[in-house]
Amino acid sequence: MPLPSGACCEAGRVTFQWIQCQKGQGQLIIKDQSHLVDSEQDVFLYPNQAHEYFEINEPWKLIG
């Protein structure tokens, strides 16, 4: 399922979350630390982990 190009989740999800970047480049912020997410990289988030992510280069295509 495609995800929005910018999102904030203050409480996180109640389950583990896997996100795959299929195209473009984005920024992931977890606990005030910024991480660059490139095409063909995966992100694994723990339950209840607050996070934000934003598109840097268009189009940024995520699934998860």
For the four alpha carbons of 26, 50, 4 and 61, in that order, the dihedral sign comes to: positive
pLDDT at 3: 54
Residues 6+ apart with CB under 8 A from 12: 45, 46, 47, 48, 49, 50, 51
Q: Find, among 13, 32, 19, the residue nearest to 60 by Cα.
A: 19
pTM, 2 dp = 0.76
- Structural domain boundaries of the chain? 9-36
What confidence tens digit (pLDDT) does each residue in 1-47 have? 445 556 666 677 788 999 999 999 999 999 889 999 999 999 999 99
